[in-house]
Structure 1
Amino acid sequence: MNKFKEVFQNRNYRNLFFANFTSQMGSTIGLTAFMFYLLDRFSDQPVYATITELMFSLPTLAVFFLVGVFADRMDRQKIAYYCDWISALLSILLIGAILTEWMPLIFAVLFLRSAVQKFFFPAEHSMVQGILKKEDYTTASGLNQMVMSLFMLFGNGLGIAAYWTVGVYGAIMVDTVTFIISAFLIRSCHIKEEVRMPNGKHRIKDLKIAVVFSDFKVGMVYILQHKLLRTLLVGFFVFGIVNGGFSVMPVFILKYKLAPNTYEELSIIVGIIFGVGVLLGSFVASLLSQKLKLHQLIISGLILTGGFVILSSFATNTYIFLGLLFIASFGLPLVNIGIGGWMPSIVDPKMMGRVQGWISPLMMLSQSLTLGFIAVSFPSILTVEMLYWMVGGCLALVGVFYMITLPKFTKNLQNTTETTTVESASVL
């Protein structure tokens, strides 16, 4: 706990930490409220709820070749600051789009807002890497995981509560306020120029098409030259499948199998149970990270979570489902803290944005493909149980794959002195 306190006393880290949290909240509350608004208004068309989630992931594929280059070439603090303000303005435009009830316009604004937000996280995470010491990365990863668990605990519940109390328009206004708070937190940071602009000063007009694609290619070559990164890309692709499935699976199994009449209320309970599981798992994973090798945490978490996700598909009532889901959620922090604590030693800080520029879109590609597949196949082809088999099976298979491949990389890293950093990927 003293280590957590020490890291959190870093003013810049603390402000960036809360800026990231509030920006994520701005991405979630209104989106959750809007999804339930669609499920209420178009209850016989679940495809709309899936498309809403798709509008959160698909924009990555439109801007993936830009986000990493911008994070490495431009002022990272300004990127994060302006992303928040633009997202706030687009949230207001989203209210106007919903008032028109024209779905193409609504989804277009959602797509644009999400695209802008994709520039925020590479810039913010790059600054976090620059203001912390190498030995603090695992601690920061544990802090991020604990807050993520609290966000899981209250995020969807806050979205549903906002929908019930102030409606979909009020929920989106909450988005707007949280984006503005995040922007002020970003602006309050005092970050050294070499952290904000590790590759020197550049202006937008300097980023010509040839430069952008050249930098993007450099990121690809860098990954191909590192066997560990190439291996992890396989896992990242599957993590996207998991994220895509989990964004709609809990609501679907409640609405179409376990509790069709009370699925909204139970969705809050599911969020609470899931968040509590992740929160407790975060504490346990933080303790285990001091005793076990990090790759062992990752493998254990993947197999544990994958197995119980599959088992939860066989639940015959909500109590059994919630119990199995709790155990599945307990294993996720083992994966996230393991990756977050291990990764900061394998990629050059000056390359972080460009490496992430490949990893993030790969995850979002698989997430978007998964959501698209669900949109066209559920419930006509896929049953809700099959969704759980697909996601749980993917997690377990990656766990087995990592069991075979990661130990040898750990052994190799012990004999080398590679230094550097990459954004910690996160399942869910």
Structure 2
Amino acid sequence: MKKFREIFQNRTFRNLFFATFTSQMGSTIGLTAFMFYLLDRFSDQPAYATITELMYSVPTLAVFFLVGVFADRMDRQKIAYYCDWMSAIFSLALIGAIAIGWMPLIFFILFTRSAIQKFFFPAESAMVQGILKKEDYTTAAGLNQLVMSLFMLFGNGLGVFAYWSVGIYGAIVVDACTFIISAFFIKSIKIAEEVRLPNGKHTFKDLNLSIVFKDFKLGISYILSNKLLRTLLVGFVVFGVVNGGFSVIPIFILKYKLAPDSYEELSIWVGVIFGTGVLLGSFIASIFTQKVKLYQMIIFGLFVSGGFIVIASFAENIYFFLSLIFMASLGLPFVNIAIGGWMPSIVDPKMMGRVQGWINPLMMFSQSITLGVIAVAFPKILTVEMLYWMVGGCLMLVGVYYLLTLPKISLSEKNSKTVSLLKQSAL
């Protein structure tokens, strides 16, 4: 907690943190409220709710080759600022589309707004790298993990409360207001030009297709040339598989095994238990960041989460299942905080946007493939237990891979830095 207080004394980081928090809150409240609106209005067409979820995730694949290039070539502060304002405008446009009731227009607005939001977080991550000291990166990652766990715990509840209390139009107005508040936080930040524009000033005219694809290619070349970064990237691909599987398997095991008659109500408790575990795990992991090596935290978290997910497949009653899910959720923050703190310290600030621009689409691609496989193979080929073995097994497999590679690579990186410092001292 002391480290949290220290980085919060940095006014620039504090305002950027609140900007990110309010921007994410807007996304969560609006999307959740709209999902419930669709389920109420079109109860006989549940596909609309699924399409809404796709309108949030699919835009990643549409703009992934642009977001990283923009974050590295354009003014990062302006990108985040205009993303918030444009998201607010499209939120208000959504009210008009709902009043008209034309679903293609509604989904188009949702898609466009989500695509715009994809530009916010690479720019924000790159600015954090320039605002904080290297020793504070892991603390900042821990703070972000705490916020994510709170959204897991209360995010859907906030959306439901907004929908029930002020209706769909009121919820979307709240949604727009949070984006505007975020924009004002971004505007209030004073950031050095070398942080906002690490590669110099550019205009939209400079970013022709050849430059965009050249920078995009440069991003993957940079990743592949860095052994540590390349090794971590393998894990991100598998994490996409885990995200895809875990988005559906809790509901599946409740509906098809543990509680067929009450799975809807119990799914809420699964979310609460999981969010509580992640929140508690975030506090514990934040303490350990100063006591153990980051790769040890990653390996530990992968084995704990993967192992308990596999064991959860054998649960025969809901209470045992919930306890195992809680234990599995405790390990995830160890992985997220360690990787979130490690990445900024190994990536050149001039390349952070392009590196982030590769990570998200790779995770989304593997997540989409996983969901496609599950849609085709379950339950004809894969049983619900097999899905848990697949997700937990993937986490443990990455744990084994990291156990064999990260200690050696980390030691090699440390030795190379030591040699470099000795050479500089000799000069």
Q: Check whether TM > 0.5.
A: yes
For 1:34 and 1:88, the matched residues in 2 are separated by 15
> What's 1:422 paired with?
none
How many residues get paired?
Answer: 418
| Residues 161-205 of structure 1: per-residue CA shift (max 9 Å, x gap) | 333434444333332221111111111111111111111111111
Residue 114 (1) aligns with residue 107 (2): no
Cα offset for 1:55? 2.4
Question: Is the 1:77–1:186 contact (alpha carbons within 8 Å) kept by the matching residues of 2?
Answer: yes
- Residue identity matched to 1:405: T
> What's 1:273 paired with?
273
- Residue identity matched to 1:78: K
> What's 2:191 paired with?
191
Question: Is the 1:53–1:247 contact (alpha carbons within 8 Å) kept by the matching residues of 2?
Answer: no
Aligned pair in 2 of structure 1 residues 311, 74: CA closer, same or farther (>3 Å)? Answer: same
> What's 2:144 paired with?
144
SS in 1 for 2:202: coil
Cα offset for 1:251? 4.4
Cα offset for 1:265? 4.5
> What's 1:229 paired with?
229
Aligned pair in 2 of structure 1 residues 26, 384: CA closer, same or farther (>3 Å)? Answer: farther
SS in 1 for 2:417: coil
More displaced 10-residue stretch of structure 1: 361-370 or 68-77 = 361-370
Question: Is the 1:58–1:365 contact (alpha carbons within 8 Å) kept by the matching residues of 2?
Answer: no
SS in 2 for 1:349: coil
Aligned pair in 2 of structure 1 residues 160, 307: CA closer, same or farther (>3 Å)? Answer: farther
Question: Is the 1:277–1:327 contact (alpha carbons within 8 Å) kept by the matching residues of 2?
Answer: yes
For 1:318 and 1:283, the matched residues in 2 are separated by 27
Aligned pair in 2 of structure 1 residues 315, 64: CA closer, same or farther (>3 Å)? Answer: same
| Residues 55-82 of structure 1: per-residue CA shift (max 9 Å, x gap) | 2222111111111110011111110011
SS in 2 for 1:191: coil
SS in 1 for 2:350: helix
For 1:253 and 1:159, the matched residues in 2 are separated by 25
> What's 1:82 paired with?
82
Cα offset for 1:385? 4.3
Question: Is the 2:137–2:345 contact (alpha carbons within 8 Å) kept by the matching residues of 1?
Answer: no
> What are the residue-to-residue correspondences of 1:11-410 with 2, within 5 Å?
11-39=11-39, 47-99=47-99, 101-254=101-254, 258-259=258-259, 263=263, 265-375=265-375, 384-410=384-410
Cα offset for 1:98? 4.0
Aligned pair in 2 of structure 1 residues 18, 326: CA closer, same or farther (>3 Å)? Answer: same
- Residue identity matched to 1:294: L
Question: Is the 1:57–1:367 contact (alpha carbons within 8 Å) kept by the matching residues of 2?
Answer: no
For 2:61 and 2:101, the matched residues in 1 are separated by 26
> What's 1:424 paired with?
none
For 1:61 and 1:254, the matched residues in 2 are separated by 31
- Residue identity matched to 2:187: R
Cα offset for 1:248? 3.9
- Residue identity matched to 2:113: R
- Residue identity matched to 2:306: G
SS in 1 for 2:180: helix
SS in 2 for 1:190: coil
- Residue identity matched to 1:24: Q
For 1:372 and 1:292, the matched residues in 2 are separated by 38
| Residues 98-149 of structure 1: per-residue CA shift (max 9 Å, x gap) | 4555544433322222111110001111111111111111111111112222
Cα offset for 1:39? 4.7
For 1:49 and 1:394, the matched residues in 2 are separated by 29
For 2:331 and 2:44, the matched residues in 1 are separated by 34
Aligned pair in 2 of structure 1 residues 371, 170: CA closer, same or farther (>3 Å)? Answer: farther
For 2:162 and 2:262, the matched residues in 1 are separated by 17
Cα offset for 1:322? 2.0
For 2:45 and 2:386, the matched residues in 1 are separated by 19
Question: Is the 1:154–1:271 contact (alpha carbons within 8 Å) kept by the matching residues of 2?
Answer: no
Aligned pair in 2 of structure 1 residues 25, 65: CA closer, same or farther (>3 Å)? Answer: same
Aligned pair in 2 of structure 1 residues 303, 352: CA closer, same or farther (>3 Å)? Answer: same
> What's 2:9 paired with?
9
Identity, in percent, stands at 76
Aligned pair in 2 of structure 1 residues 41, 371: CA closer, same or farther (>3 Å)? Answer: farther
Question: Is the 1:50–1:371 contact (alpha carbons within 8 Å) kept by the matching residues of 2?
Answer: no
Give the TM-score normalised by the residue count of structure 1.
0.89
| Residues 276-310 of structure 1: per-residue CA shift (max 9 Å, x gap) | 21111112112222222111110111111112223
Runs of 5+ consecutive residues of structure 1 not aligned to the other structure:
419-428
- Residue identity matched to 2:149: S
> What's 1:421 paired with?
none
More displaced 10-residue stretch of structure 1: 2-11 or 21-30 = 21-30
More displaced 10-residue stretch of structure 1: 393-402 or 185-194 = 393-402
Aligned pair in 2 of structure 1 residues 40, 256: CA closer, same or farther (>3 Å)? Answer: farther
Cα offset for 1:401? 1.5
Structure whose alpha-carbon radius of gyration is higher: 2
Aligned pair in 2 of structure 1 residues 100, 266: CA closer, same or farther (>3 Å)? Answer: farther
Question: Is the 2:306–2:396 contact (alpha carbons within 8 Å) kept by the matching residues of 1?
Answer: yes
